[in-house]
Structure 1
C-alpha cells in the first residue's frame, strides 16, 4: 500500500473499550500492539488495572503488559526508549503497528518524543514517596507551587505521580522541571494516525461503575492487601489502590471506598478526555465502530496529504 510505516494510536478514557478496538485492528492488519497504559506495565497490579485477559492477549501480541515490576524504576523516558526499540522490531516485519492506552504522557513520548530529563537519584524519589505517604498530596502541591509555579499552573495537581516526577527533577538539579520541557516534537521514522474513542458521558460513567464492581468481585481488595508492604512505591499511587489502602487503614468503610473509587475513576476519565481532545489530529469514533475506523485508516494511508 505504501513504503511508509504507520503507528495507529487508539486513545481515550478508561473503560471506553480501547483493548477490544486495538485487538480488532491488530487482527485486521496482522500486526502487534504496544500498551501505553502506565499501570498495565506492572506484573503485581492485575485486577485494578484492567489488563487484557489471557484470551485477549492470545488474539494479538501485546507488548508492555506485565513487562515490569512495581519495584523497578520505570518512567516515561524509559518507556520512550524501550517503546521505540520495540516498534523498530515490529516495523521490520509489519508496515503497521498498533498502540493503545489512556496515559497521554506515555502516548506523546512515543509519537512526539519526551524532553531529555536528568537522571534521578533513587534516594530523592524515595524521600518524596515518603513525604507523600506521611503528609499527603498537599505537601507535594505546596512544594511544587513554590519550586516551579509555571509547571504547577499546568499540571494535574491531584496526580501524585506527576508532582513527584517534577519535584524529583527539582530536588536533584536545583532547576525547575519546566525548564527541561521544550515542547518540540522529535522526528520519528513512522507516521502516526490518532484514533480517539468516545461515548456519551452517562454511558461511559455506567461502564466505569460496572467495571469497578467487577474488579471488586474479582478480588481487588485481596490484591491491594497483598500489596500493602509496597504501598510507598510510586506505581501504587493510583486510583483504585490508594482508596483501598485507606480502607485497610480503617479510614473508610468498604461501601464508601468503592463509591470513592468510582468517583475518582470518573474524574480520571474526564481528565483523560481533556488531554486527548487537545490534539486536533485525533479522529473520534464510537468504540464499536471498527469498520469506520478501518476505513478512515485506509483512506489516511492512501491519501497521506489529504
Structure 2
C-alpha cells in the first residue's frame, strides 16, 4: 500500500470532529470510517450524535449502524474489520479518514491489539451476576486489584469496559493493559493522527448545547424505546444511563439532563487524557485551511 494514508481525526466528544472530517473528506474526495464505538449500533441514534442523513449523503461513512445492541463486538474485531476494509479501499483511493473519540478503537487500528480470546459464557455470567449484586463499585474495586494500570485509564462510569477487562483477566490470567500490543504493529500505509482541540470553556459550552439539542430531537423517546434493554452493554453509557435512572424515579428530568451534561464533560476529559498519551498526535484547532495544509504536507510525495 505504498503511497496510501490513513488520516485520524480524533478528539473529545462535541469538539466538532464530524463537521471537520466531512469537509476534509470533501476536499480530498474520499470517505470516512467511524471510530465512535457507540455509533456502530443502529438503535442508538440521537444519544450518540450520529452524522445526519444529509451529512452521510454528502460523504459516505462506514461502520455506522453496522451492529445491533444485541451484538457482541470489541476493539480487536474492529481492528480486523477496518484493516480488511482498507485493503480493498486503498486499491481505489490514496487517502481515507478515520474519525471518532473512542481512543481504544483508534489505537487498535493504528497500533494493533493482541488477539482477544473468546470469553466462556460462565465467566461472563458470573461477572454479570456480581455486577447486579454489588453494583459498579464492586467491579471497579475488583479491576483496581487485578489491573491497576487499566483502572487509571478506563471510563470508571462505564461497566461495559470494566466488565470486559475483568473477562479478559479471568479468561487468560493476563491483564487487559498487557494484552494491548507493547510494540506497535507495522501498517502498510502511512498514519497521520490529528486531534481536534478547543478551549475548555468553548468545549463545555458545546457539550451543554449538544445535550439540550438531543433532548429537543427526542432523546427521551429514544431512551424509552430502549429501556427494556437497559442491561445490554452498549446502553451502559452517558445519555442513556441517566434517563433510565430517571424513568426508575431516582430523580426528575431536570436532574437527569444536568447529570448527562456533567458526565459528558467528565467523559471529554478522559478522552483528552487518552489522546495525550501519544506524543505523535498533532493537536490542532478546527481551522479548515490549517488542517488541509497540515494533511497535504504529511502526504507521501
**Normalised-by-shorter TM-score class:** over 0.9
What is the alpha-carbon distance in structure 1 between the residues aligned to residue 149 and residue 13 of structure 2?
Answer: 28
Q: Deviations for 1:132-190, whole angstroms, at most 9, x for unmatched residues?
A: 34432101112223333444355443332221111111222344334433421111111
Is contact 1:47-1:219 (8 Å) kept?
yes
- Aligned counterparts of 2:116 and 2:101: Cα–Cα separation in 1: 23
Separation (CA, whole Å) in 1 of partners of 2:154 and 2:125: 21
1:79 paired residue number: 78
Are 1:52 and 2:51 counterparts? yes
**8 Å CA contact 1:129, 1:234 repeated in 2:** no
- Aligned equivalent of 2:299: 301
Residue 123 of structure 1 and its aligned partner are, at CA, apart by: 4.5
Secondary structure at 1:136 match in 2: helix
Is 1:206 the counterpart of 2:201? The answer is no
Contact 2:9 2:194 survives alignment (8 Å): yes
- Residue matched to 1:234: 233
Q: Does the CA-based 8 Å contact 1:129-1:232 persist in structure 2?
A: no
TM-score for the superposition, normalised by structure 1? 0.93
Match of 1:69, SS state, is coil
Query: Is the partner of 1:45 in helix, strand or coil?
Result: coil
2:120 corresponds to which residue? 121
Q: TM-score scaled by structure 2?
A: 0.94
Shift of 1:88: 1.5
| Residue correspondence of structure 1 range 42-191 to structure 2 within 5 A | 42-191=41-190
Q: In structure 1, what is the equivalent of residue 39 of structure 2? A: 40
Conserved? CA contact 1:199–1:286, under 8 Å: yes
1:13–1:273 Cα contact (<8 Å) kept: yes
The number of equivalent residue pairs is 301
Give the structure 2 partner of residue 249 of structure 1. Answer: 248
CA contact (8 A) 1:198 1:284 kept: yes
Aligned partners of 2:179 and 2:93: how far apart in 1? 35
CA contact (8 A) 2:119 2:168 kept: yes
Q: CA offsets per residue over residues 71-128 of structure 1, 9 Å max, x none?
A: 0011111101111111112111100010100000000000111122221124533443
Give me the whole-angstrom Cα distance separating, in 2, the residues matched to 1:133 and 1:235. 16
Q: Which moved more, 1:2-11 or 1:257-266?
A: 2-11
Deviations 1:231-290 (A, max 9, x none): 111111100111111111110111001000000000101111111122222222222x11
Q: Which runs of 5+ in 2 are unaligned?
A: none
SS in structure 2 of the partner of residue 21 of structure 1: helix
Counterparts of 1:262-281 in structure 2, within 5 Å, are 262-281=261-280
2:243–2:256 CA contact under 8 A, matched in 1 = yes
Q: What is the rounded CA distance, in whole Å, between the counterparts of 2:145 and 2:245 in structure 1? A: 28
